[in-house]
Every structure is written in C-alpha cells, then in structure tokens.
Amino acid sequence: MNATNPTAPILVTISGRRVRRYLIPATASVLIALLGFALLDWISFEYAYIATYTILQYVVLATAWNILGGYAGYVNFGVAGFFALGVYTSVFNYKTLQLPLPVVIIIAGFIAGVVGLGMGYLTLRLRGVFFSIATLAFAIVLNTVFNNWHFVGGARGVSVLRPDAPEFFGTYPRYLFGVMFALAIAAVLIARAVEYSWLGRGLASIRDDEVAAECSGIPALRLKLIAATISGGLIGMAGAPFPFFITYVDPASAFNLTIAVNTVAMPVIGGLTSWIGPVIGAILLGALQQITTVTISSALSLMLVGVLLVTFVALAPRGIIGVVKSLRGPAA
Amino acid sequence: MSEDLTAQAPILRATQVTKSFGGFTAVDGVDFTLGQRERVGLIGPNGSGKSTFVNSLTGVIRIDHGSIEFNGTDITKLPSWRRARLGIARSFQIPRPFKNQTVIENIEIPLMFAVGHHNPDQIEAKAEAILAQIGLSGRRNDSPKNLTQVDLRKLELGRALAAEPRVLIADESMAGLSDPEVDEILEVLFKLSADGISIVLIEHIMRAVVRFSQRIVVLVAGKKIADGEPREVMSHPEVERAYLGQ
Amino acid sequence: MVSPELFFNALLTGMFLGGFYAAVSVGITIAFGMLDIVNIAHPAFIMLGAFIAYYLNSTFGIDPLLASLIAVVPAFLGGRLFYKIYYYAFERHGEESLQGLAFFFGILFIVEVGLLLVFGVDYRFVEANYIRKTIEFGYVALPLRLVIPMLAGLAIVAAIQIFTSRTFLGRAILAVSQDPGALRMVGGNPVRVKEIAFGLSIATAVVAGALLIIIQPVEPSLGREYIGRVFAICVLGGMTSLSGTVVASFIVGIAEALTTTFGGPAWAPAVAFGLLILTLIVRPEGIFGR
C-alpha cells in the first residue's frame, strides 16, 4: 500500500524529498491545464467551460469530502451546508466589500473551516451514524437560517453580476475555469499530503478500528477535528466562485441535494481510500451526468447517480480503484 | 519473589472502581494493585466484570466511582490515548487489528503515536525487531485478514508491545488456542516480563494462569473475592464455588 | 401579548402532529433502535406511501385510510425483500456502517427522484369527506384532517406494542435487539426475525405516508424534512423504547407547532433538527434511554 513515508509533515515544505514527490503531478497538472484551455478555446463552445467547471468543482468537493469520509470513515451528509457557507460568504462580499475572487475564496475557506471545526467538536464524539445524521441536521438548520436572512436574499434569492475578468483570461467563464482548476489542484495536493502523512495513517487506523486506534496512542478526536476542518474549509472554498457561475443565488440552489449526493457518490464510486478515487469518480460521474443531462434529461441523470451509488456500495465497495486492484491480482 | 515488590510503590493502583450500566453494576468497588515488574493473573467466570474492569483501566470506559493511578499519577479522567502514551498497553479479547494495513504497518502505529518516533527508518527497524520478538517476521507484509488465530493474537501482543509499555494488560490472549499455541504465547509473555514489563493476564485457561502469575485476583459478579498467591487462591472455597457453579 | 387561544390551539395542533409523528417514527425505533439498521431512507418510504395513497385516491377514488390498509401487505413483503438484499450485501460481511449509510442515502435519493419523474414537482392531495371538516368547541378547533391521523398513529404504535409484548414473534424481535446469540439458543433465527421486523418497519412507514397526505398536500422532496424529525424523535425517545418514541413525538410536534405559530413557518424544519443536535450533545441516551 502506501506506507512509504509515514511521518511526513502535513505542510508541504521545501526539502528534496517533498519537492520530488510533487514535481511530477504538479507539472502534469499545469500541462493538462494549458491543454485544457487550448482545447476549449479551439472548440470555442461556451458550454464546454460550464461542463468542465462543474466537473472541476466536483473534483474539489469529492476530494475534500473524502478526507473525512474516506480516510477517517465519518460520512458527512452536510456537504450542502459547507458549500452554502462558501456561496453566501461570496454573496455577502459581493454586496459589501467586493474583494477580488481569490481573496473571497480564502475567506470562505477560513469560515467554512472554522464552522467545520465547531461542528466537529460538537458531533465527532458521536458514533459514526449519529455523526452523519447530525451533519445532515446541521445542513438543514443552516438552510433555514439562510432562508430567513434577507440581506443575502433570503428565500427569494439574489442576482449576481459578473465583474470584468482579469486581462490574462479574457472572458469570465475562462477565468472561473482557471480559478476552479487551481482549486482542484490545491485540493488534490492537500489530500495527498494528508494521506501520506502521519495524519493519514492515524485517520486510516481510526477508520479501521477507532477504539484500538485510541489504545495505540492515537488522539482520535483531535485527528478527526483536523480532518473535519480541512474538509469543510475546502468545500467552502469550492462554493465561493459559485454565485458568479450561476449568477442567481437562492437557498435552493446553494443547498443543492444534487451536490450533496454527488459529493458522496463520487468518492464511493471512485474509491475511498486514496486521493485518486474522488478524482476518478468526479471526472467519470461528472462527465456522465453532463452527457445524460444534455442528451436525455436532468432528472434521469440524477437517477443515474443514485443507482450507481447504490450499485457500487453494494457490489464494489472499494470503488473503481478496488476493482482495478483486484484485476491486477493479489500482489497489489 | 513477591517480597521485594512490596518495597516499591505499585505501578498501577485501582481503588474502589465502580461501573454500572443502567441498573446493572458490572464492577463493584474493586481494589487492585499491580507491582513493578509483577505478573498478576485476573480470573473470574463469564460476566464477572473482568472486561469492564480492563476497559476501565485502559480508559475505554469512564468509571462511576473510584480512582486509578499509574506510577502515582491520577489517570482516572484521562482518555485511552493518553494512558497509552504514559505506558499502559493492552491486547483485546477478540483481536482488533487494523484490517486494511499490513502486519508491520499495524506495529508501526503505536510506535508513531504512543511512543512518538518520527524517523521512518527508525520506526521500521523497531517494528521489525518487535516482529522478531513475537515471531511474526515471516508475516511482515501480510494482511491481518489472512492470519491464523494464533498469529492474530501475536499481532495483538506485538501491537501492545510497540507502545513500549510499562504495563501490559493481556486480555484473553490465548482463548481458543491449542495447547502448544498457548505455550507459544506464554513464552512471549515470560520474555516480556523478563524485560521489565508489569503484566496483567486475564485468562480462563487455568494452567496458564497458575504457571504465569505471581499473584491471582478473582472477580465474581463484579466484586473481588480473592487476591493472593496462586495456590492459596485456587483452593479458596468461594473460588471453587464460583467456577463449579459456572 | 400572547393570546391564550392561539397558544392553546398551537398546543393542540402540536399534540395532533405528535400522534402522527409517532406513527412516522415507530418504524425507525424498530429498524434503528432495535435492529441497528441505519435506514435513513425511511422518509422515502413514507413519501412512497403518500403517493400510493394519492394514486389510489385520484384514480380509483379510494379513501386514503383504506388505501393504507391495502398497501400494508405489499409494503411488508417489500420491506422483507429489501432487508434480504441489505443483509446479503452488507450485514453478512459485517461491513462498516459507512457503506450501509451510503446505501440508504442512495435509496433515499433514488426514491425521491423516481417520485419526481412519475408525479412531477407539483403538490398532490387527496379527497375525502373528512379532510375539510373541523369540530369546534368554543374557541377550540379540532380539524379532522389532524385528529384522524393522530388517532390512527397512536393506534399503530399501540398495535406494535401489543405485538412485541404478547406474540412470540414480537418478543423475538425484542430479544434479537438485545442479544442475537441468546435468540439462536432458543431456536429462533435472528436473520428471519430481523427480516420480519424490517418489513414491519417499512409497512408502518407506508401507512404513515397515507396519513401524511391526509394532513397536507405532498411533493417528492418533502421526505427530507422527515429525516431529521424521525431520528430526532428516535434519539430523544431513547432509541429502543416505544413509549419513549410516543413522548418524544409529542415533544417534537408541540415544539414545531409553537415555533410555527409564534416564529413563522420558515423556522419549523429547523426545530426537529435543532432538538436532535441538542439531544445528541447534551443527553445522547434520550429521555428514556439507558
């Protein structure tokens, strides 16, 4: 498996080993990004940007969710809540300070992270299933709060005008694409860092057997809180550009059930134990949904997500990664 | 043997430990001491509260009344992981390995978290040493899912060892094993005792308990009914009654 | 400032809802409290029941109460089948509850989207001669569309209580929740007992759905509100206790009604969830729990 460097620090530091590990994925990502821009430009098809933005957003969401869900085994059903925190931070900023998008993303991440920490502190002592229900409860309570907060639009919602895009990008959709791409890279790098560090080993042990983990010296609550904060923060960050993407925000769109289910389904389908799983799940399932939405209907594409989730959970619980591993043979 | 133990303070002392679940009192005012380098056996019929008591000692359960001291420090309110870092390790009655990690990775976890080693090479080396000590070197990269019962028990002990403990609580490490396998585990435990670890052995296999323990404590229905040298305790009328009536 | 009539009527409404909520939640008390099956898709089956009642009512003119009785047997059998699938996929392997949760979450979603595809987003309601009737005593109003579901709800819980305390099968269910090993020793088959219990759980959900559509018009996403309610009631009531479920149902019903009357309907969904969070943090064993 991945026991190569169990004690690597969480933060990426500049030392020979660390840089080498991330050099290949980092360069690959930049190359893919440039290719992506070029391809989309050549197609010059506005929808391509929308589709890829959505898929990239799911890469961030699925990767972030998996840090708590897949690594630690605590299923967060309140994804919509954290996403909405990011969305509404952005809306609030739009109506007041009008800070540039990258700044808002950081702020949204910070707020969502703090809320994640707080919610985790209240709920992570509960047994797994109670935690999950509590997260759902939390999302609904948050939904109700935003429904009643008129400054950010309340139940009726608020319109958002896109500002000018920075010169480098040209059009605003390209800018959003670039921003979300950067976020996706960041999310994956963070997830990798967590996974290969002592934090990741600790979370994996918690997932395998929390009581045994505690008796082995693992401070379970602390590690879970760290995971919840990182996870929540990243999800919030993914929500910050959203208002500029859909240009009209109301609680129904922010607290989207589709987003909630997708965020859970993608890591499950892709594979829960490693950062690759959510990425694969997000790209495959996201692309599939875009195709079915356009060719058949959006309702049917939702049904597809549900069916795939149930099927994979029942028949291939290790996800696509697991299937590939077992095809390669027991040596893996 | 037991004489020089009284000169030093006990490494583990439980005083009037009481734990109830709803209306049912599982452990009732139990006093228990473990001396430095001592080997104590803890026996009792099923349902006598041994597991609850062990869980209380290791912090898996919070007790209702009483106190627990380790080396003079009050640990009654400390969570399991802090107790593990202080030096109290346990093996579980039903082995609870980290199923999705290999044997050596299982051993590495307490080395990383209970002891706090940071250097990956040092961790690996120490893990290998522990595997050699318990006789699992050949199963280094295996998954716990593929281990035999006796190897799983060894892994449990190995993981407890990896916490570099002062106190080891071996909870039914031999249940369901054959005679030669019981002796294997017993040899490991004797070796650990010789290395200076104080051991509490909870067992149903009487010959192992009698052979291993310097002192035996008997729990029946949550209360301690006997505490002394093996020969004394085993011929105690109440102990006989408790086991015959089982 | 607070009119006593308004307060009293809110209290009354809360009580009626409470009786209904008891029917809604008893299934979770069985499935989750007793059998440890995290069926968060329970509300989906409630909605299924509601729409079945709607369909039978709008197509054949069948009274929703009658419709619920018609649906009971298929619902029970369907529930048993469902448990079989769940058992073979998850419980048998002792899989982590993470997968079970994800499974039921998926089912919840599939049922909601399925209902959406078949019935659309509009609110649906049933026609029956008692739905618009209200009995009045002075300033006290007793709308029948609330009273009847409450009575029916309490009747269901009473029936379950009698079943679990008097019949062999019922007592086997209680036994299996406490000690499956012991059940095996007296010749019971835990898997089959759990199957029947789960079938019962689903049957109550479907009947509760028919009651729901008597109280108010329904649309497919309504189920989401009930996730919190149902688990809030189950946890508040101490998980395994039927009487706890009833008391908790009334607490939640009254809390919601008071909030709606004096705080506005927008806050109502948050009440149950808020209570749930509070209970989980302050006293996770619930009121009656051990």
Structural domain contains residue C82 = yes
CB atoms within 10 A of CB C245: 33
Give the distance from residue B169's alpha carbon to the nearest chain A alpha carbon, in angstroms. Answer: 11
Domain residues for the domain of C50 are 13-222
Between these two residues, C92 and A77, which has the higher pLDDT value?
A77
Apex CA C31: angle with CA C27 and CA C33, to 5°?
A: 100
Neighbours of chain C (3+ CB pairs under 8 A): A, B
Tokens of B125: 């080396």
Q: Tell if the pTM clears 0.90, that is, is over it.
A: no
User: How many contacts, defined by CB atoms under 8 Å, are there between B and C?
Assistant: 3
Cβ burial, residue A114 (10 Å; 0-12/13-18/19+): middle
Domain count, chain C: 1
Residue C22 within any structural domain of the chain? yes
Residue range B77-88, pLDDT digits in tens: 999 999 999 999
Give the closest-approach CA distance of C113 to chain A in angstroms. 6
pLDDT at C289: 61
CB-based contact A133 C231, cutoff 8 Å: yes
- Sign (positive or negative) of CA dihedral C263, C269, C274, C275: positive
Rounded to whole angstroms, the maximal C-alpha distance in chain C is 64
Residue A326's CB is within 10 A of a number of other CB atoms, namely 12
If phi > 0 it is left, if psi is from -120 to 50 it is alpha, else beta; for residue A249 that is beta
In-domain check, residue A320: no
Those residues of chain A whose CB sits closer than 8 Å to some CB in chain B are 1, 3, 5-7, 198, 201-202, 204-205, 207-209, 211-220, 273
Asked if the structure places residue A147 within a domain, the reply is yes
Determine the number of helices (DSSP H) and then strands (DSSP E) in chain C.
11, 2
Chains that touch A (3 or more CB pairs under 8 A): B, C
Does residue B101 surpass a pLDDT of 70? yes
Would you say the ipTM is above 0.85? yes
Tell me the C-alpha distance between B162 and B110, whole Å: 5
Report the range of poorest mean pLDDT among A153-157, B222-226, C155-159: A153-157
Dig out the tokens for C231 from the structure.
């688990």
* B238 has pLDDT over 70: yes
Give the start-end residues of each E strand in chain B. 12-21, 24-34, 39-43, 65-70, 73-74, 88-91, 167-171, 198-202, 215-220, 223-228
C93: pLDDT confidence band, cut at 50, 70 and 90? low
Q: In this structure, is residue C241 part of a structural domain?
A: no
Q: Which residue reads 């290949």 in tokens? A: A24
pLDDT band at C187 (very low <50, low <70, confident <90, very high): low
Residue type, B76: T
Average pLDDT over chain B reads 88
Which candidate in C110, C119, C275 is best for mutational testing of the A interface (most A CBs within 10 A)?
C110
Q: How far apart are CA A132 and CA A198, in angstroms?
A: 25
Distance from the Cα of B21 to chain C's closest Cα (Å) equals 8
Q: For C290, which residue in chain B has the nearest alpha carbon?
A: B22
What is the pLDDT tens value at each position of chain A, 332 positions in all? 334 444 443 333 334 444 455 566 666 666 776 676 667 666 666 777 788 899 999 999 999 999 999 999 898 988 999 999 999 999 988 888 888 889 999 999 999 999 999 989 888 887 777 888 888 888 888 888 888 888 877 778 888 888 777 777 777 888 888 899 999 999 999 999 999 999 999 999 999 999 999 999 999 999 999 999 999 999 999 999 999 998 888 887 777 778 888 999 999 999 888 898 999 899 888 888 888 877 777 778 888 888 999 999 888 888 888 888 777 765 44
Q: Which residue has the higher pLDDT, C22 or C128?
A: C22
- Residue with the bigger pLDDT between C126 and A9: it is C126
3-state secondary structure of A249: strand
| Token pair for C13 | 């409404």
What's the structural domain count of chain A?
A: 1
Tell me the percentage of chain B whose pLDDT exceeds 70.
96
Largest CA distance in chain B: 55
Looking at the domain assignment, is residue A321 inside a domain?
A: no
Residue C270 is assigned to a structural domain of this protein: no
Per-residue model confidence as pLDDT tens digits over B147-181: 998 899 899 999 999 999 999 999 988 888 888 88
Domains and CATH numbers, chain B: 3-244 (3.40.50.300)
- What range defines the domain where residue A169 resides? 16-255
Residue A303's nearest CA partner among A330, A272, A271, A265 is: A265
Tell me, yes or no, whether C255 lies in a domain: no
For residue C264, is it within any domain? no
* Per-residue pLDDT tens digits for B111-138: 999 998 888 899 999 999 999 988 889 9
